A and B are shown apart, each in its own frame.
Chain A
């Protein structure tokens, strides 16, 4: 090959083994005798390997194909008429008996912390930690909106008009083992070592979105006599999307008819006693962190501040609590003062929150929540704190 036929591009392709065999042989032969080309290829190689090394030091993703597909599927445009309003979805959550976690997830709609981000829509909230907010029942009664029938009806109507479910929930289905559950859920499912769950259920993901109409929300508040709560202008016409990824529920011990009820079977019949779980029942819920997306102009702290006022905080209490929380990663668990006790405890190297009813026959039941590598865990059982922690340590 003539020197003039060899250019930088050919040498670069030769270095990468991206030329055909005949050209590679010709370049190789030419390099034996051409000092200039030898110098150039050496320089190209030094540059390329330096860059390759630098790029190899860049972060790598742990994205999971399975869960990413499930998440995307939920966002694909559906044929007209396939949307369902939110309320049936919420009912199916409670049927699913997902306990604390279902309640927590439902609260995402009101306590959704969202953060402005560079792109128009990006995942901006993922649960990485929990914090507990103790609500005062008296303040809630006088200042909160929970018991306001007019407000609740108006909000229900608005939600059923404005919320579209893009990925409706399906009935949970039994799966054979952790391997299959992991494949379906898109993350490595952990179960109690040495114990075989009585029931292992897979629950599909849920996605919904809502376009916010600030004026309408404000007028509902004003009519409810709460013009002290101001909906931030930044939320107007914003589309907020919530995605609750697929997950699993494992039941151990005698959990009565819980599994049937979760699958929408075994409806309670009047006069017939319910087959209730006993003290041996342990339920374990796992799912990848739910996420909320919103347009960049929406300020999570502003939204949180309004949501806190719904629970009976006054504006200045709400403002000061708002400052203590990283709203892009923290899910706030509201608990009623005097009704629920809570404490922070370490769980397998993560910060967990242990919730427990203070009174009544359920007071020996606990709910232990924590987040580990992007997966939210909710372990429910009967016993003391050590029992809860020991059980969590058995997960593998």
Chain B
């Protein structure tokens, strides 16, 4: 983006309020703390602000924000993994289904499941990981298409491919014994036929 004019604060705040919470929710799924997720989102908004209101066409701001934030979040996830910190137990009490009262064993298993899902995403091509992250965080096909710079009609095909690849890597990791299969909520992933096989 290039610098183009200056944002009116009210307009910029409206964009922030429209997108921040969902962006932070999406980023938090692969990052290890609320602070890290907030920071990644803030960086995206700061870039948008510095670029000025004319840098993106009307209606493209949301897509750009989700693209930027998921790209950054996945890059951090992959970097952490390369540095060998991917198995870090997520300390969040806010993890879905988690509570401070849960017993230590459940907590450990939950942390393992989180690590397994994140490691699988980190192993995938970034665009595919972004696609899964966006869609399975509740974005519609139209929103996913805007965020990924795609035609909405292509989302189904690419999503099916990404899901097939996720399943294949996940199962491979399980076979390598990286997690306790019986404790996992993730049912064995079915094979995808026709053109759904990983390219």
A interface residue numbers (CB < 8 A to B): 7-14, 16, 18, 36, 39-40, 42-44, 46-63, 65, 68-69, 71-73, 75-77, 118-119, 121-123, 126, 291, 293
Residues B94 and A57 in contact, CB atoms below 8 Å apart? no
Identify which of B42, B137, B140 gathers the most chain A CB atoms within 10 Å of its CB. Answer: B42
| Chain A residues touching B, majority SS | helix
Q: Which of chain B's residues has its CB closest to A62's CB?
A: B94
Residues B196 and A8 in contact, CB atoms below 8 Å apart? yes
B interface residue numbers (CB < 8 A to A): 9, 12-13, 16-17, 20-21, 24-25, 27-30, 34-43, 45-46, 49-50, 72, 76, 79-80, 83, 90, 92, 94-98, 110, 113-114, 117-118, 132-133, 136-137, 140-141, 152-160, 163-164, 166-167, 170, 185-196
Residues B28 and A59 in contact, CB atoms below 8 Å apart? yes
A residues in contact with B97, CB < 8 Å: 57
Q: In the assembled complex, how far is the CB of residue A76 from the closest CB belonging to chain B, in whole angstroms?
A: 5
Residues A62 and B39 in contact, CB atoms below 8 Å apart? no
Q: Which of chain B's residues has its CB closest to A69's CB?
A: B16
Residues B195 and A48 in contact, CB atoms below 8 Å apart? no
Residues B163 and A51 in contact, CB atoms below 8 Å apart? yes
Interface contact tally, CB-CB below 8 A: 192
Complex: A50 Cα to B72 Cα, angstroms: 25
A residues in contact with B167, CB < 8 Å: 47, 50-51
Question: Can you list the 8 inter-chain pairs with the closest CB atoms, starting with the nearest?
Answer: A9-B157, A13-B156, A9-B156, A61-B28, A46-B190, A43-B190, A59-B95, A12-B156
Complex: A68 Cα to B13 Cα, angstroms: 11
Complex: A210 Cα to B92 Cα, angstroms: 31
Complex: A56 Cα to B159 Cα, angstroms: 17
Q: A51-B136, A59-B29, A122-B35 are in contact. Are A65 and B187 (CB under 8 A)?
A: no
Residues B155 and A18 in contact, CB atoms below 8 Å apart? yes
A residues in contact with B194, CB < 8 Å: 7-8, 40
Identify which of A13, A50, A59 gathers the most chain B CB atoms within 10 Å of its CB. Answer: A59
Complex: A63 Cα to B23 Cα, angstroms: 10
| Chain B residues touching A, majority SS | helix
Given contacts A40-B194, A60-B94, 6 further A-B contacts (CB under 8 A): A7-B195, A13-B156, A40-B196, A63-B37, A122-B36, A123-B38
Complex: A5 Cα to B12 Cα, angstroms: 44
Residues A47 and B163 in contact, CB atoms below 8 Å apart? yes
Residues B37 and A77 in contact, CB atoms below 8 Å apart? no
Residues B196 and A46 in contact, CB atoms below 8 Å apart? no
Complex: A75 Cα to B49 Cα, angstroms: 10
B residues in contact with A48, CB < 8 Å: 163
Residues A51 and B166 in contact, CB atoms below 8 Å apart? yes
Complex: A77 Cα to B12 Cα, angstroms: 13
B residues in contact with A46, CB < 8 Å: 187, 189-190
Residues B141 and A118 in contact, CB atoms below 8 Å apart? no
Residues B21 and A44 in contact, CB atoms below 8 Å apart? no
**Residue among A57, A60, A63 making CB contact with B38, cutoff 8 Å:** A63
Complex: A126 Cα to B34 Cα, angstroms: 11
B residues in contact with A47, CB < 8 Å: 160, 163-164, 167, 189-190, 192
Q: In the assembled complex, how far is the CB of residue B153 from the closest CB belonging to chain A, in whole angstroms?
A: 8
